[in-house]
Copies of this chain bind each other. A is one copy, B any other.
C-alpha cells in the first residue's frame, strides 16, 4: 500500500479500439478515418481545420500505449474511448457496438502486463449507448455488463445524454445504476460550446482551449442544477480538463442561483458545495490552476448551508487535492517534434510538482494514490 501510493496513474488517456477504428474507416461522413498519401487522417469535427489530424497506431495499439507509459514513467492507465464515442449511431448499432467495445476493452486491459503485486497496467472506462431513442433499460444493461467486467472501473460520457443533456430527468435511473455499481462517470466534451471564434484562422486553438472546457462546464452545471447530485449522493463524477471553467465560475453561479428563487428552491446546498462532490483530472497545464481547483474543493464543505458563511473560514488547500487525479490526454496533444517525452505530459507533471501548499503526500495522491482509491485498485 505504501508502495502503491507512489504509483503514477493516468486517468485521462484515450484509445480508438481496432473495432472502432475499422468503423471510422468504413464511414463516408464525419467522424471518419480517411486514407491519404501521407498516412491516415482523423476527422472528428464537422469543420476540421487542415483536413483532420494525422492518426496512427498510437490511437489503437496497446503496445504503443504501454510504450508511451514507459517513456513517461506511468505505471497504470485507466483508458477510455476517445470522442465522439457512439454518438453518431442509431440506437441498435450503438447498443451492439457498446457491448462489443466493452468486451474488447476488457480484453485490452486483461491482457496487459501486470505490476508486481498483481495490479494490471491497464484498466478502462466502458461505453454506454447514449444516443437519442435508446431505451433507458438498454443503458442499464450496459451498466450491468460493465460492472461485471473486472477491469472496467467506470464509463466515459459525452454531454448530450440521450439527446436532452445530462440534466434529462429520464437519466435518473442511469445515475442510480452507476452509483450502485460504484462506477466512475468520466464526463468529457466533444462538441464544444458556441461558435464565437470568428472568421480569423486560429486552427484548433479556440474550440480546443475554450470550447471544450465551456462544454464540460455547462454540462456539469446543468447536472448540479438538475438535483442529480442531491438525489444520488454517492455518484462519482470525474470532470475532464480540471472541470473546465466550473471552478472559476462557481461563486458567480452560486450568486445567480441566489437571485433566482425557483432554481434555488430545487437545490439542497449552495452551488459551491457540489464541487466537493466532484473529481477533477489534473489536466490544466499550470500549477496555479491546480492549486485553485484544490481550493474550491477544499472550501466546498463551508457551503453545505445555503447561507453564505461570509467567507470567514480558512481553506486548507491540501484537502482539495484528494479529488484531483493526474491525466495526459494521450494520444492527443502530441509533441511537434520527435522527443523522448511529450511536452504536454511533462508540463502536467511539473505543474503538480509546483503547486504551492501541496506537500509530498498531496502530490503523490494526485499522481496516483487518489486514482487507486477512486477506482478501487489498491
Tell whether A4 is near chain B: CB-to-CB under 8 Å. no
Flag if B214 contacts A200 (CB, 8 Å). Answer: no
Interface membership of chain A positions 244-276, coded 1 if the CB is closer than 8 angstroms to chain B and 0 otherwise = 110111111111111111110000000010000
From B193, B218, B261, B284, A251 is in contact (CB under 8 Å) with B284
Tell whether A299 is near chain B: CB-to-CB under 8 Å. yes
Interface membership of chain A positions 177-210, coded 1 if the CB is closer than 8 angstroms to chain B and 0 otherwise = 0000000000000000110111111111110111
Tell whether A333 is near chain B: CB-to-CB under 8 Å. yes
Flag if B292 contacts A209 (CB, 8 Å). Answer: no
From B206, B250, B286, A221 is in contact (CB under 8 Å) with B206
Chain B residues with Cβ below 8 Å from A315 are 288, 356
Sort chain A's interface into a size bin. 35 or more
Flag if A245 contacts B214 (CB, 8 Å). Answer: yes
Q: A239 → chain B, closest Cβ, in Å?
A: 12
CA distance A336 to B259 in the complex (A): 7
Chain B residues with Cβ below 8 Å from A193 are 193-194, 196, 214
From B197, B213, B255, A285 is in contact (CB under 8 Å) with B255
Chain B interface: which of A55-63, A132-140, A346-354? Answer: A346-354
Flag if B241 contacts A292 (CB, 8 Å). Answer: no
Closest B residue, CB atoms, query A191 = B196
Q: A72 → chain B, closest Cβ, in Å?
A: 16
Flag if A263 contacts B205 (CB, 8 Å). Answer: yes
Chain B residues with Cβ below 8 Å from A347 are 255, 308
Flag if B167 contacts A198 (CB, 8 Å). Answer: yes
Flag if B205 contacts A256 (CB, 8 Å). Answer: yes
Flag if A221 contacts B198 (CB, 8 Å). Answer: no
Chain B residues with Cβ below 8 Å from A204 are 256, 259-260
Flag if A245 contacts B333 (CB, 8 Å). Answer: no
Closest B residue, CB atoms, query A225 = B202
Closest B residue, CB atoms, query A207 = B256
Tell whether A365 is near chain B: CB-to-CB under 8 Å. no
Chain B residues with Cβ below 8 Å from A210 are 214, 217-218, 221, 245, 249, 253
Closest B residue, CB atoms, query A298 = B288
CA distance A344 to B251 in the complex (A): 11
Chain A residues 94 to 140 lying within 8 A of chain B, measured CB to CB, are none
CA distance A101 to B205 in the complex (A): 38
Tell whether A312 is near chain B: CB-to-CB under 8 Å. yes
Tell whether A304 is near chain B: CB-to-CB under 8 Å. no
Chain A residues 219 to 253 lying within 8 A of chain B, measured CB to CB, are 219, 221-222, 225-226, 241-242, 244-245, 247-253
What are 6 A-B contacts defined by CB distance under 8 Å?
A165-B199, A204-B256, A255-B333, A259-B334, A286-B311, A315-B356
Instruction: Please list the residues of chain A having a beta carbon within 8 angstroms of any beta carbon in chain B.
Output: 159, 164-165, 167-168, 193-194, 196-206, 208-210, 213-215, 217-219, 221-222, 225-226, 241-242, 244-245, 247-263, 272, 284-289, 291-292, 295-296, 299, 308, 310-312, 314-315, 333-334, 336, 343-344, 347, 350-351, 353-354, 356
